Structures are given as structure tokens and as C-alpha cells.
Amino acid sequence: MSTLREKHVLVGVTGGIAAYKIAYLVRQLIKEGAQVRVMMTEAATHFVTPLTFAALSKHPVYTDLWNIETSEERDITIRHVKLAHWADIVVIAPASANTIAKLTHGIADNILTVVTLATPRPVLLAPAMDVDMYINEATQQNLSRLKERGFYIFDPPAGELASGLHGKGRLPEVEALVEKIHDILERTPLDFIKKNIVITAGPTYEPIDPVRFIGNRSSGKMGYALATAASHRGARVTLVSGPTQLQTPRGVNRINVETAQEMLNTVLKHLRTANVLIMAAAVADFTPSTVAKEKIKKTALTQSLQLTLVPTPDILTEVAKKKKKVITVGFALETTNELTHAREKLQKKNLDMIVLNSYNDSNPVFGSDINTVTIINRWGEIEELPTLPKIEVAHKILDKVKSFMENR
């Protein structure tokens, strides 16, 4: 468990009966060599006293935005920012329905929510509450929005609850929490610090008339997972996004575009300062040659509507013409001769790496949270990955980019 040595773990405790278990968590983290600070909501202090956590962590506990006494540097104005950046990871356990809702909506009315909103580092939430509160649609929707924004959520185990009810909502065992913290820290080294990464995601919409367009089924999830992963690893991320339903990952600069042409313009604008460009977007290959000014009326048509489509600019090819140092990663989705076509694409578009989505019944790709890919680099090295959650695939791609940067 060496990953925890000297790591800064900021533990946030909210008001729930499971708060007492966090004393064991803090003790275990310290035993494993971590430096721990604790912040608590007012409600949490009704369950466990700050003194307990102060004694265990050997540091003052943060309970109040305004209390100068507990401020080590006596500077309350920037204390929350310092704490937010001090952390290698923020762990909110137990995470109450109330705090989950506040984080979802950006409400920052206590030290815990302020710091959590301000941190650029990974945040792990361990929801623990009564089963009815947990399965409530409001809580579930909030959790899925936070997940999309890159929060790590520990799915609560089912079992006997303090209320006497049975169901989901227990705080995980301390060992399981420590293991998860360990995994997240191992996954998110700050190895992209000061690197600018431009990532494209989602589909493009090519307009036919003011209300209709040609689009595709891309959900944007792979590109958004890449943005989340890169941001957790310290990169400055610009996410050039086609239309999606997804939440913007924390700390990411998102620029919305609609058409392939707009995506090209935006990518070129950010290319000069970019160290890495990852084109995860499913850019349309064709666009209507003209866009009707008014909505095309059914009555104006006799029997069928003819659309003339022209090719869109190929963004990667345009980038290849201008590229100096930027590392470029493309994606490929093929249905036949997958490897051969992916290799051809890598060469044709002068890419450093290509990620081949395997498209078959067991790998739906679009809209799914998992993906099966093969990564090929310009030296011909191939790595076939097993089916993994998209966030894991994203980290693997970044691992490859990192080693490519070091070895080229």
C-alpha cells in the first residue's frame, strides 16, 4: 500500500450515523502513511466531535468557514483554496443526500462544499443514507450528474441500515474505502501537469434547414471520459464538444460547436498551444451543400427530397498539415478489416496513435459506459485492451500518450 505514503487525503464528513466509522478510516489512512486533514459539516459534528478527528489526524479540524482559530495560516480568505489544492484526493464519507444535492447544484455554504467545489483533484463520494433516500429519484439523478462530471462514486453496499430497514445505503467497510482511495491515487498521478490537451467529443450536426440536421449516434462519453481523466492528471483541458447531453467535467474548459467546420475552426485556434490533440469526436463526413434558409415544406415537395452532400473538411488531415510538435490521437470505427483500415488511417492522417473501437454486438460503443478498443501507435506497436469502463479506457490511452511523449 505504498501509494498512500505522504499522500494528502482530505476527508470530508457529513451528517449521518455512519460518521463514527470515519474515525477508523482516518486512523487507517494515517497508518498507511497518508497525511490527513478532516473537514466536517455542522450536522456531522452532532454525530462525532471534531476533537476525535483532531486527535486522530493530529491537526485542527475544519468545521467553519469563518473560524480563524482553526486556520493554520490564520488567513481565512484563501484557506479553502489552499486546502482544495493541498489535497491529492478528497474523500467525502459518509456523503449525505443533502451534501450530494448541494454539490450537484454548486451550492457552497459550508467549508466542505466550498473546498469540494474548488478542488481540481479527484473527489470520491461514499453515499450513506437510508435506502429510501438513496433510491429516491432526486438522489439518483444527482449522483449520475456528479458521476458525469468526473466524481468517483462508491456504490453503497446493501445490508442492514441504522433505521432497521434493509437495502442499499450502507457505508462501505473501511478496508474497501482505503482500497478505492489507493486505486484512484494510483490512477491519477499528476503526470500531465502544465500540458495542454485538446479533446474533441460527441457528434457534429450538419444543418439541412433551420430545424433539421444530419447527425449521428455518438453520445460523447468517450471524449468526456478522456477530458475527466486528463484533468485529474493535472492537464489543462480544452474540450471541443459537439451537441451532447453530458455534464461538463470539473475543471475542464468546454467549447460547444455544432458543425464539422466549426469544430475544425476551434481546433485550429487551440492548436498552437496544444501538446496533445485527441480527436474522439464522431465528425460527420458529409454535409448538405446548401442550407435552406426557411424550413423545407412538405407541400413544396412532389415525392422525394434530394439532398446533395459534400465532404466536410477532415480535421486531422488539416491538423497534419500544420502540425509541429503536437501529438495527435485519432479514433477509428470500422466494421471490416479493422486493423488494416486503422493502420491506413494512422498513416494517411499522419497520426501518432489511433484508437480502434471494436464494433460488434458485445461492444455497442454508442451511448455505452464501456468500450473495447485496440491502441496502435506510429511505430506499429499494438495493444488490445479488454472491455473496460470508458474512464479506464481513457486512462489507458493517456498512459500510452505519456509513454509516447517520453520515448519519441
Here the cell at position 209 is 434547414
Count of chain residues binding ligand C5P (CB under 6 A)? 14
Nearest to 247 by CA among 183, 201, 198, 188: 201
- Residue 116 contacts residue 12 (beta carbons within 8 Å): yes
- Least Å distance, CB 308 to ligand C5P, is 18
- Least Å distance, CB 329 to ligand C5P, is 8
Among positions 191, 314, 338, 399, the unique one binding ligand C5P when judged by CB under 6 A: 314
Residue 394 makes CB contacts below 8 A (sequence gap 6+) with: 222, 225, 226, 228, 229, 230
Stretch that binds ligand C5P, among 184-192, 248-256, 308-316, 399-407 (CB under 6 A): 308-316
| CB neighbours of residue 333 within 10 Å | 16
Query: Per-residue x/- marks for ligand C5P, 241-280, CB under 6 A?
Result: -------------------x------------------x-
- Least Å distance, CB 407 to ligand C5P, is 22
Among positions 197, 274, 315, 394, the unique one binding ligand C5P when judged by CB under 6 A: 315
Nearest residue (CB) to ligand C5P, 191 versus 314: 314
Nearest residue (CB) to ligand C5P, 150 versus 330: 330
Listing DSSP states for 77-104 in one string gives HHHHHHHHHH-SEEEEEEE-HHHHHHHH
Q: How far apart are CA 324 and CA 318, in angstroms?
A: 12
- Residue 15 contacts residue 40 (beta carbons within 8 Å): no
- Residue 268 contacts residue 230 (beta carbons within 8 Å): no
Phi, psi of 40 (to 5 degrees): -135, 150
Bridge partners (DSSP) of residue 40 are 13
Residue 312 interacting with ligand C5P (CB under 6 A):
yes
Nearest residue (CB) to ligand C5P, 39 versus 240: 240
- Least Å distance, CB 241 to ligand C5P, is 12
Query: Per-residue x/- marks for ligand C5P, 183-222, CB under 6 A?
Result: -----------------x----------------------
Among positions 39, 283, 365, 375, the unique one binding ligand C5P when judged by CB under 6 A: 283
From the candidates 110, 136, 142, 216, which is the catalytic residue? 216
Cis peptide before 288 (omega within 30 of 0): no
Task: Look up 110 and say whether it is catalytic.
Answer: no
Q: How far apart are CA 219 and CA 310, in angstroms?
A: 24
Q: How far apart are CA 9 and CA 23, in angstroms?
A: 14
H-helix or E-strand spanning residue 178? helix 174-187
* Positions in 322-361 near ligand C5P (CB under 6 A): 330-332, 345
Nearest residue (CB) to ligand C5P, 172 versus 242: 242
**Sites of contact with ligand C5P (CB under 6 A):** 200, 260, 279, 281, 283, 285, 312, 314-316, 330-332, 345
User: What residues are annotated to the active site?
Assistant: 216
